[in-house]
Copies of this chain bind each other. A is one copy, B any other.
């Protein structure tokens, strides 16, 4: 029976050959042994400090006592164990206290935590924040903020959205005004006063760490004191909850950042989600309202600087969705093996005098389990593949690195959206396998389903991902990204053609790839974005299924290369999941592509009052 560890081991080592990265200078100290040691540690901490408390953080939702946000003790313990493991800066340079781990190994290792309890750990945000400061910040900002986040002393947030501006960041109205004379010469960076409301800020307030460094998008007004519409007027600021000096010590002053409310969510309740008021005067600084913020990078480059790590952030969401999918798969597999009920359908009908069988014996239960396996393990393959592209983009030779980056651009919307949609479906199947028990809070699967529903929303909704894919990614550089993807898929098709048991699937994938290509052209045939993008989501669904079929075919090739006898049951399982995907899933793309190809405007032209 496959486990998360055995699946990660196979994908990372047998399939992606992650240790080959160790030939590069940056990773030269690493080996299969060091990778395994990291995985061992994370698996253990996840088992001991995360998994037992997943229901606790759901039931004991964060609340505000008027002064502090109260979280259960297990959250402190889990965070501490995580920070102490060094995973907060696993991929960072040695000189920053990191271990120069490849990103693909870091991503895989973090998977154990997400599988154990997706919402208890908010360190992903801290890492993302610190990474953005590393890329765009000044040397002192790196030293004071990034380093203190990587070492676990402080936490970080990403404060982008506002109540009126979620998907549409061009409309943010948080204002940043120069903080008096000499604002430009603050050693921590040009000093501004920020005023505005930020919404959906995960981990925006808590007592888990000594301090919180908010990374805030805001607009510096023009010479008339007005905020310029659009994204090009957006700048990025570090706004610490408590003010610090250039040694990274707390000065003892509270910054003017106030919790305006906690969001009460459907799931993902281990993570506080907040509405923050910046600069409303609740905590005046030096006698004045306005939150002190330090400009990061150049004015007007806020979005670019914040989105530097966007691909990784989206892969991380894809991984979270994937891990929830797998968590449900493992739970329902366990249940199906132990729960007895009913008898197999046979030629002679059901014989009630026979003892009931484990429900995993029923074909429909097997179908629901195999679908979960195909969704979850397939999504994991895709996300690890993308994570490895991140490493390639950073450490491969220039030409190879450019190819990796380009391919990653095209695949990122799928790496984020596909697991969000299909591993949610997997969680629904996990409930269904449990029957009525799955609908109760005595079993974990209903929580996985609730937690997973967030992933189609945050870090760019499904609609945003689809518009990015069809509106930008497959068109950029004259379609070079799509062409590169097609070449890469074709390489797998060629490999698979040589395998008798896979050649039919290779042909099926070739047809799907051609169909996606033709549909892309048809969508843009008259270069009208209104028509082309009217069905961007069905396009992305079809594109995603084609990509996942490619992943499974490539995994199947990997299995056959390693073990042609298929003596290993786990490998037999992978071959069956491939078969499942080609028989049950890939044929779905026709219906999705049809409306895209025809530039169907049934929805787009629906009169508003006809709803």
Verify A164–B341 contact, CB threshold 8 A: yes
- The reply on A250 being an interface residue by CB < 8 A is no
A432 to B352, CA, bound (A): 45
A532 to B399, CA, bound (A): 53
- If the complex has contacts A200-B436, A436-B457, A454-B439, are A602 and B370 also in contact, measured as CB distance less than 8 A? yes
- If the complex has contacts A366-B606, A588-B588, are A438 and B466 also in contact, measured as CB distance less than 8 A? no
Verify B453–A439 contact, CB threshold 8 A: yes
Looking at chain A's contact residues, the main secondary structure is helix
Of the candidate stretches A286-294, A484-492, A534-542, the one touching chain B is A534-542
Closest to A456 in B: B432
Chain A 596-610, CB-CB to B under 8 Å as 1, else 0, gives 001010111011111
The residue in A165, A438, A457 that gathers the most chain B C-beta atoms within 10 A of its C-beta is A457
Verify A366–B603 contact, CB threshold 8 A: yes
A467 to B441, CA, bound (A): 28
Give the number of times this chain occurs in the complex, counting copies: 2
A364 to B604, CA, bound (A): 8
How many interface residues does chain A have, given as a range?
35 or more
Verify B200–A367 contact, CB threshold 8 A: no
Verify A168–B346 contact, CB threshold 8 A: no
Verify B436–A458 contact, CB threshold 8 A: yes
Of the candidate stretches A24-32, A106-114, A238-246, A262-270, the one touching chain B is A262-270
- The reply on A477 being an interface residue by CB < 8 A is no
Verify A572–B607 contact, CB threshold 8 A: yes
Verify A528–B611 contact, CB threshold 8 A: no
List the B side residues contacting A467 at CB < 8 Å: 345, 364
Tell me, rounded to whole Å, the shortest Cβ–Cβ distance linking A348 to chain B.
9
- The reply on A394 being an interface residue by CB < 8 A is no
- The reply on A124 being an interface residue by CB < 8 A is no
Tell me, rounded to whole Å, the shortest Cβ–Cβ distance linking A182 to chain B.
33
List the B side residues contacting A352 at CB < 8 Å: 170-171, 229-231
- The reply on A440 being an interface residue by CB < 8 A is yes
Of the candidate stretches A141-149, A320-328, A380-388, A576-584, the one touching chain B is A576-584
A601 to B363, CA, bound (A): 9
CB < 8 Å neighbour of A591 from B229, B363, B364, B591: B591
- The reply on A533 being an interface residue by CB < 8 A is yes
Give residues 336-356 of A contacting B (CB, 8 Å): 337, 340-347, 349-350, 352-353, 356
- The reply on A161 being an interface residue by CB < 8 A is yes
Closest to A232 in B: B352
- If the complex has contacts A171-B352, A266-B446, A432-B462, are A587 and B584 also in contact, measured as CB distance less than 8 A? no
CB < 8 Å neighbour of A604 from B353, B366, B373, B449: B366
CB < 8 Å neighbour of A166 from B436, B441, B576: B436
Verify A1–B609 contact, CB threshold 8 A: yes
Verify A611–B364 contact, CB threshold 8 A: no
Chain A 435-472, CB-CB to B under 8 Å as 1, else 0, gives 11011111000100110011011100111001100010
The 5 closest A-B pairs by CB, nearest first: A573-B610, A230-B352, A587-B591, A367-B603, A229-B352
Sample of 8 A–B contacts (CB below 8 Å): A171-B352, A346-B530, A364-B536, A435-B457, A573-B610, A573-B611, A583-B595, A587-B594
16 more CB-based (< 8 A) A-B contacts, given A165-B341, A450-B450: A229-B352, A264-B441, A266-B441, A266-B450, A345-B530, A346-B529, A360-B608, A363-B533, A366-B603, A366-B606, A370-B606, A573-B611, A576-B602, A584-B595, A587-B594, A590-B590
